[in-house]
Structure 1
């Protein structure tokens, strides 16, 4: 899978403009970003998120809508008060339903302090190990918290389940069969971030049984 160049992106925008001039049924734009739903997969963008990579720029105006070039996570702060006990991008398991879960980015965060932790944010990249193609995403995790001396799991997918954060369903993670490297930077407000790497073997993402 070749990365989308600036030239090819503008060529696609011309196609988008033509498509937008077609009848409404052919130009549905669920997220209102100016890119029709039918064109979103062509630029690997999310049809339900007007700013797929979270960089603050509308996908139509973004030269690379799946690469947040600037990492907004500050590196300063107090010592990191949490650890990541488990980090998964494949072989996920739904403990509540007691069955396999569809492959997705999942982090089990352990709070090592006596106070609840909240106001998390994450910046993560996905690199195709064969082609070198890279995507980068930023997301504020305002609704996520970890209880004092406890743990909680962060899920990134498009399931719409409570407590899950939406991930791009058209990313190279789900559309390429090549091996991937995830680099994840997780931060709680006021503390230094924690950075980790997760490898995914070659092969497509598995759906739940």
Structure 2
């Protein structure tokens, strides 16, 4: 039998009683009405917001995934070059891009790399709230080459969808951001960056 926290139960009740929530009111079919998702900081278009393999309704903390990163393994033949959360640039248009998580991955090895797991966290400098997400970017990096993983609005090829209700976008406080990247069988690599306080994330 499924149990709900009081806050989630209240949100579900509100959703059930709100006439504006029609047949398509739960876009991602996770059992949480779209109007309630911002209050839970979850994504109305992603049934598993934090990427941990559990639907948001069944997840006790739907924006705080446990780390899937495994210690040990062979020395990684790749590294994180840049970890950006502001001052992003669109490499095609050569114009400033809205602030988002961008990870430059450099393959120093002699073979192509695929099958990456990216685990990243945002910690709000004012409230101390932390969110953690797992994604599996579909990138292939030839030997001696590099690629960039973008977590933003997810509308461009190779870009991953960011949670629009994340504290990254909804809090104006500074953020401490971490990223850990791993390929099966290799040791993980990591990087951290601080995001300055600011409002809505727009092109710089």
Name the structure 2 match of 1:207: 202
Deviation larger for 173-182 or 198-207: 198-207
Q: Is the 8 A contact 1:87 1:198 kept in 2?
A: yes
Quick one: structure 1 residues 26 and 15, their matched pair in 2 at CA, closer, same or farther if it must change by over 3 Å? farther
What residue is the counterpart of 1:39 in the other structure? 36
C-alpha deviation, 1:146, in angstroms:
1.1
Q: Deviation string for 1:89-121 (max 9, x for gaps)?
A: 011000201111111100111100121011000
Tell me what 2:130 maps to: 134
SS of the residue corresponding to residue 19 of structure 1 reads helix
Q: Could you tell me whether the CA contact under 8 Å between 1:19 and 1:26 is conserved in 2?
A: no
Equivalent residue for 2:162? Answer: 167
Q: How do 1:31-70 residues align onto structure 2 when only pairs under 5 Å count?
A: 31-68=28-65, 70=66
**Aligned with 1:82 (options 78, 96, 106):** 78
Match of 1:193 among 188, 191, 195: 188
* Residue 168 of structure 1: how far off its partner (Å): 0.7
Q: Which residue in 2 is equivalent to 1:176? A: 171
CA contact (8 A) 1:128 1:172 kept: yes
2:13 to 10, 14, 17: 17
Match of 2:117 in 1: 121
Rounded to whole Å, the distance in 2 between the matches of 1:30 and 1:165 is 18
Structure 1 residue 77, shift from structure 2 partner: 1.3
Determine which of 83, 95, 108 is the counterpart of 2:104: 108
The TM-score with structure 1 as length reference comes to 0.89
Task: Tell me if the contact between 1:27 and 1:38 (Cα under 8 Å) persists in the aligned partners.
Answer: no
Shift of 1:205: 4.3
Aligned 8 A contact 1:27 1:36 in 2 = no
Partner of 2:38, secondary structure, is helix
Q: Which moved more, 1:189-198 or 1:18-27?
A: 18-27
TM-score by length of structure 2 reads 0.91
Structure 2 stretches of 5 or more lacking a match?
A: none
CA distance in 2, matches of 1:79, 1:39: 44
Superposed CA deviations along residues 126-165 of structure 1, whole A, max 9, x for unmatched, are 1011211111111122x21211100010001123210001
Q: CA RMSD in A?
A: 1.8
> Is there any run of 5+ residues in structure 1 with no aligned partner, and where?
1-6
Shift of 1:204: 2.2
Say if 1:103 and 1:205, in contact at 8 Å, map to a contact too.
no
